[in-house]
């Protein structure tokens, strides 16, 4: 893993821990990390929820694709993706071409506990409940599994444990 030539993409549902685990991977591997949501916020000068509210979801999804194209010019970085990014075929193809894809999973109950106080996940606005999370997860699940090179269940595990499992899978 020291001479990582490809990128590592972290994918999975909101609250699966992509951003948290990406930070832990960066800390352990000393490899730079790109946080897609944070980079979009920086580019747009607006919070994610404001982008959705003022410019719409399609605008946000286009911004994700544009950012991903720029990021996949690079090599050897950890990319923490937004949970919906891989749903676009073009984005999934870019990820497949440019690195290894790690899917983090968690049950709807775990996800709910992790995101219930979040105010910046507009997809869950007005729908912050386990049933809605389960329904949306079901819609996304096949795509997540189809593109993943490695799948790590995160329920009841610390970021350190999850990171260890990811690194073991690539060792």
Ligand X SMILES: O=C(O)C1=C[C@@H](OP(=O)(O)O)[C@@H](O)[C@H](O)C1
Annotated binding site for Mg(2+): 19
How many CB atoms within 10 Å of residue 42?
A: 11
CB of 2 to ligand X, least distance (A): 27
CB of 13 to ligand ADP, least distance (A): 7
Tokens of 106: 């968690």
Q: Is there binding between residue 84 and ligand ADP (CB under 6 A)? A: no
In terms of Cα–Cα distance, which of 97, 96, 134, 102 is closest to 21?
Answer: 102
CB of 82 to ligand ADP, least distance (A): 8
Which residue, 3 or 79, is less far from ligand ADP as judged by CB? 79
Long-range contacts from 165-169, C-beta under 8 angstroms, 24+ separation: 166/8, 166/21, 166/25, 166/102, 167/1, 167/25, 167/28, 167/29, 169/102
> Alpha-carbon distance 128 to 145, whole Å?
24
The single residue among 7, 8, 17, 18 that binds ligand X, judged by CB under 6 A, is 18
Q: Is there binding between residue 118 and Mg ion (CB under 5 A)? A: no
Q: Which residues are annotated as a binding site?
A: 15-20, 37, 61, 83, 121, 140
What is the contact surface with ligand X in residues (CB under 6 A)? Answer: 14, 18-19, 37, 48, 82-84, 121-123
């Amino acid at each position: 893993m020291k001479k990582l030539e490809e990128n590592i993409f972290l994918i999975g549902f909101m609250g699966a821990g992509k951003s948290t685990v990406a930070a832990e991977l960066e800390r352990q591997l000393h490899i730079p990390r790109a946080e897609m949501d944070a980079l979009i916020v920086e580019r747009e000068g607006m919070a994610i929820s404001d982008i959705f509210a003022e410019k719409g979801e399609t605008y946000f999804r286009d911004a994700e694709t544009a950012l991903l194209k720029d990021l996949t010019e690079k090599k050897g970085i950890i990319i923490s993706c937004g949970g919906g990014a891989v749903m676009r075929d073009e984005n999934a193809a870019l990820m497949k071409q440019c690195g290894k894809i790690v899917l983090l999973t968690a049950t709807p109950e775990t996800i709910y506990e992790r995101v219930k106080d979040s105010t910046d996940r507009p997809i869950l606005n007005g729908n912050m409940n386990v049933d809605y999370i389960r329904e949306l997860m079901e819609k996304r699940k096949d795509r997540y599994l189809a593109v993943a090179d490695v799948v790590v269940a995160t329920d009841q595990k610390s970021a350190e444990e999850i990171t260890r499992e990811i690194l073991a899978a690539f060792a």
